[in-house]
């Protein structure tokens, strides 16, 4: 009987780990609903998995995610998870200072996917539950930042696919004008921007996060158009947004080393797996 209980506990542990691995991030209550387990059981399993280094909780959002150490169990650790772990502490820090909501977005096929967000904590946000949402690449600041600063080869491939999907006969257009002109201005500003379209009450700025010769993600700041003009937003927030992205970029090589070490089952200097727990920092 004791052996059966141990086997059942092991099954439940792997079930919870699998559920977390299949999602961008989940709260304990959501895990319990999917797994059909009582919340106390879910918490015990999460605490055990966290102690073993396989999962970590973002204390600012309450979301659970797999860690780099979980890569040792499966080749399914996604690049997006790696970038999120590097970016979240800096997002929380910037969000606390500026109060406007932030989204971390990555390119996927023909859209930008929100991988992490501070909407739930920002006093200026009217949108919640944003993580996992797919956004149009042409009419978002993150999509325009990606197109403006990625390699010529990748940009041509993306634009060709967009033209085919949309059946465009002429230049691609955005709510802020022809895409070529928008990208030219993005490069002049050093960030992607959205002044019109998509969500009419808001506008946004977005900075590309680079690693080597690739853009790994974009960090987007969303603000109310009624609060300031685009030029004012650029003046007030561009440098701070770029500075935050610079801090994230400086952290990426270490995360890459840890990822490779886990791939090769080689411990990194300093013993156990990196703790990815983000300290709880209230934004307001």
pLDDT in tens, 249-258: 998 888 767 6
- The owner of tokens 């860690």 is 67
- The CA R_g of the chain, rounded to the nearest whole Å, is 20
CB 179 within 8 A of CB 138: yes
CB 87 within 8 A of CB 209: yes
Q: Which of 17-21, 29-33, 57-61, 104-108 has the lowest mean pLDDT?
A: 57-61
Q: Which of 60-64, 137-141, 157-161 has the lowest mean pLDDT?
A: 60-64
CB 212 within 8 A of CB 190: no
Residue 264: what pLDDT? 59
DSSP character for 268? P
Q: Which two tokens stand for residue 265?
A: 């089952």
CB 8 within 8 A of CB 14: no
Q: Which two tokens stand for residue 279?
A: 């300290």
Residue 250: what pLDDT? 93
As a whole number of angstroms, the distance between CA 129 and CA 92 comes to 17
For β-strands 102-108 and 214-224, DSSP reports them as antiparallel
Query: What is the pTM assigned to this prediction?
Result: 0.67
- DSSP bridge pairs for 102: 221
Separation in Å, CA 173 to CA 129, 142, 168, 170, 180: 29, 16, 9, 9, 8
Residue of higher predicted confidence among 167 and 171: 171
138 class by beta-carbon count within 10 Å (0-12 exposed, 13-18 middle, 19+ buried): buried
Q: Of 15, 46, 14, 9, give the one whose Cα is nearest residue 29.
A: 46
Mean predicted lDDT score pLDDT of the chain: 82
As a whole number of angstroms, the distance between CA 142 and CA 146 comes to 6
| Most confident of the ranges 129-143, 164-178, 181-195 | 181-195
pLDDT of 212 higher than 70: yes
Q: 3-state class of 24 per DSSP?
A: coil
Q: Of 103, 116, 90, 111, give the one whose Cα is nearest residue 244.
A: 90
Q: Which two tokens stand for residue 281?
A: 């920092």
Confidence of residue 284 (pLDDT cuts 50, 70, 90): very low
As a whole number of angstroms, the distance between CA 6 and CA 13 comes to 10
Q: Of 76, 77, 21, 9, give the one whose Cα is nearest residue 45.
A: 9
As a whole number of angstroms, the distance between CA 44 and CA 111 comes to 37
């Amino acid at each position: 009987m004791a052996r059966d209980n141990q086997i059942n506990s092991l099954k439940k542990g792997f079930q919870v780990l699998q559920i977390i691995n299949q999602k961008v991030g989940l709260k304990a209550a959501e895990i319990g609903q999917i797994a059909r387990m009582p919340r106390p059981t879910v918490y015990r399993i999460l605490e055990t998995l966290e102690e073993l280094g396989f999962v970590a909780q973002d204390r600012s959002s309450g979301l659970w995610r797999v860690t780099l150490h979980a890569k040792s169990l499966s080749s399914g650790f996604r690049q997006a998870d790696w970038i999120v772990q590097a970016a979240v502490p800096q997002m929380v820090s910037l969000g606390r200072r500026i109060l406007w909501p932030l989204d971390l977005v990555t390119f996927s096929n023909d859209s930008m996917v929100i991988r992490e967000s501070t909407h739930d904590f920002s006093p200026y946000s009217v949108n919640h539950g944003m993580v996992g949402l797919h956004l149009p690449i042409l009419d978002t600041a993150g999509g325009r930042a990606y197109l403006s600063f990625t390699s010529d080869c990748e940009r041509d491939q993306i634009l060709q696919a967009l033209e085919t999907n949309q059946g465009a006969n002429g230049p691609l257009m955005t709510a802020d004008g022809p895409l070529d002109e928008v990208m030219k201005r993005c490069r002049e500003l050093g960030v992607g921007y959205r002044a019109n379209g998509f969500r009419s009450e808001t506008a946004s700025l977005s900075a590309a996060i680079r690693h080597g010769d690739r853009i790994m993600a974009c960090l987007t700041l969303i603000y109310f158009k009624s609060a300031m003009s685009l030029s004012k937003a650029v003046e007030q927030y561009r440098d701070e947004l770029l500075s935050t992205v610079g801090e994230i970029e400086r952290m990426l090589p270490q995360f890459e080393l840890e990822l490779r070490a886990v791939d090769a089952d080689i411990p990194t200097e300093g013993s156990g797996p990196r703790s990815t727990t983000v300290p709880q920092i209230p934004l307001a």
